[in-house]
Amino acid sequence: PEGVTPPTPTPYENVPGEPGKVVPPSPTKPQDPQDPNSPKVPVLPHIPGTTPQVPQDPTKPVDPNTNPLVPLKPVDPKDPSKGYEVPPVPTNPNTDTPIYYVNDKQKAITNFVDNNGKVVSDPVVDQGDSGSKFTKSDEVESKIKELVKKGYVVTSNEYPSDDKDRVFDKDKDKDQIFNVKVTALIVPTDPNSPDKPQVPTDPTKPVGPNNPLKPVTPSTPEPGKPVFPEDPNSPVWPETVKDMVTESSATRTITYVDQNGKEVAATHTETIKFKRSAKVNLVTGEITYGEWTVVGDDTILDGNKLPKVDGYIARGGDIKESQEDIKATVGTNITQTVVYDKLGSWVPKVPENATPVPPITYPNNPTDPTKPGTDKPRVPHVPGFIPVGPDGTPLKPVDPKDSSKGYEVPDVPTDPTKDTPISYVPVTPEKPTPERINPKPTPVVPVQPEGPVTPATPKAPAKAGRLANTGTTETNTGLAGLGLGILGVLLAAARRRKEKNKN
């Protein structure tokens, strides 16, 4: 080969004593130092990076198809440096046998693996003669750029960086192996995050003093969009980012409806927002999430005080639960419903000729929408009538001395959704009795004597006595006459009353 000093041609050896004959070389019978007539077996020298070869038919020109070169056998197959056996002497010993030292074909294999040794791309296999320059350096560099475009960065590179070192060696039994190690780039997805990705200034080369790391700001993730817009060789966001979730919320909705589902009060809604970080493996598309954190400080979905709805009372649904606080859970929405019933009314039923009185709805409790109020309105006074409750009990007048001021309504019933009818019944006047119209006097019953009265026989006048210290006299006869006169008057009066009663 070029640059190698050719060995001295070795003439064929004659048979001793027979100059017309040539000793055929035999490796199995080397020259015997004790026998000067034993043949000499020459050995062709070893030239590193080459293999001696001869035409299959030394008498004919070399032709790759019909008369190719054939390598000679090394004296020691395990150590070619010991030389090679010469080929047989041709039939015509006057003809030289050309021996060609052909450059060995070498291989330079460049592998592309990750830091765990896993193959990430097909190797670049370069072949050439020993001592010649690599022919696929451009392909190696192109492959590295391709990997960077896919989202890798180079962590180490054994491929020679200097062109003068990109040469095939002279060891044909051992391929030249170069490993280029890469690692997938993992990028945070929030452009505003202080956690900026660090990449080599030149991602196609390992980090070093001449290729330091630098922070870069990623773009907003969109499939196929360059991650680093300022880099023409930037990788793009993988398809998986379209399903990436970094924001969530928890919403509580409380509705207030009647029995037909119609809204009777404004719906209460509260939402708490959450966020989390995400990092994307630009090669595999795998997304690694951080922990959810609340946006702000509030993590409690507050309960809502029951609204007072005029004419309604809260009777069903989530009455208690809707007023209790609940800790928000990411992605969990809560829906609660409070059902209101319409309050009943006092329904006055006045007489036909009286002014109609519309139903009076039970009052709302000002502090507890689950109960009716305690206010008691009044119903009007209708002359000649008195209002009574459902059980027939007359209502109590507002002013006992003046019923024209109206009457108090009955208590709200146990079921405040039921109406309370109030009827007006006529007042029946009390009929007078004959005695009350013309009362008869109570008759006086005369006192009848127990027997006939016998007049007393007058006695002889007694001697008149004198009253002490008066000078007058008193007679018993005068006193007796006075008593008889009075008795006669009484008897006459009794007789007249009796006759009058008979008439």
- pLDDT at residue 481 in the model: 45
| In the block, residue with structure tokens 């208690």 | 320
- pLDDT at residue 105 in the model: 82
**SS3 state of residue 323:** helix
What share of the chain has pLDDT > 70, as a percent?
Answer: 77
| Residues constituting the chain | 503
Whether the Cβ atoms of residue 411 and residue 336 lie closer than 8 Å to each other: no
DSSP string, 295-312: SSS--EE---PPPP-TTE
| In the block, residue with structure tokens 């970080």 | 277
Strand 293-294 to strand 278-281: parallel, antiparallel, or no bridges (unpaired)? unpaired
CATH of domain 106-184: 3.10.20.470
| Token pair for 471 | 């000078």
286 vs 502, more confident: 286
**502: Cα within 13 Å, side-chain hemisphere:** 6
- Residue extent(s) of CATH 2.60.40.4300 domains in the chain: 247-342
Alpha helices in 88-194 (DSSP H): 137-149
Whether the Cβ atoms of residue 152 and residue 120 lie closer than 8 Å to each other: yes
pLDDT per position as a tens digit, 417-432? 999 999 999 988 766 6
- Per-residue confidence at 100, pLDDT binned at 50, 70, 90? confident
Planar angle of CA 423, 425, 426, nearest 5 degrees: 155
Planar angle of CA 402, 404, 410, nearest 5 degrees: 95
| Token pair for 93 | 């010993």
**SS3 state of residue 149:** helix
Say which CATH architecture domain 247-342 belongs to: Sandwich (2.60)
- pLDDT at residue 461 in the model: 46
Task: Look at residue 23 and tell me whether its pLDDT is greater than 90.
Answer: no
- Residue extent(s) of CATH 3.10.20.470 domains in the chain: 106-184
pLDDT per position as a tens digit, 66-80? 888 888 998 888 888
The H or E element that residue 313 is part of is strand 312-317
- pLDDT at residue 463 in the model: 43
Whether the Cβ atoms of residue 464 and residue 474 lie closer than 8 Å to each other: yes
Report the predicted TM-score, pTM, of the whole model to 2 decimal places.
0.60
Strand 176-184 to strand 50-55: parallel, antiparallel, or no bridges (unpaired)? unpaired
Contacts of 283 (CB under 8 A, 6+ apart): 150, 151, 152, 184, 185
Residue 434 backbone phi and psi in degrees, to 5: -55, -40
pLDDT per position as a tens digit, 321-358? 999 999 999 999 999 999 999 999 999 999 988 889 99
| In the block, residue with structure tokens 């019953």 | 445
Buried b (16+ CB within 10 A) or exposed e, 128-159: bbbbeebebbeebeebbeebbebbbbbeebeb
Rounded CA separation 323/248 (Å): 24
pLDDT per position as a tens digit, 279-306? 999 999 999 999 999 999 999 999 999 9
| Token pair for 111 | 């592998």
The H or E element that residue 337 is part of is strand 334-342
Task: Look at residue 24 and tell me whether its pLDDT is greater than 90.
Answer: no
Whether the Cβ atoms of residue 114 and residue 183 lie closer than 8 Å to each other: yes
Query: Alpha-carbon Rg of the chain, whole angstroms?
Result: 70
| Token pair for 38 | 């034993």
DSSP bridge partners of 64: none
Across 163-167, 426-430, 485-489, which has the greatest mean pLDDT?
163-167
Planar angle of CA 147, 199, 123, nearest 5 degrees: 20
DSSP bridge partners of 251: 271
| Token pair for 299 | 């993590």
Task: Look at residue 368 and tell me whether its pLDDT is greater than 90.
Answer: yes
Other CB atoms closer than 10 Å to residue 314's CB: what's the count? 22
Whether the Cβ atoms of residue 188 and residue 169 lie closer than 8 Å to each other: no
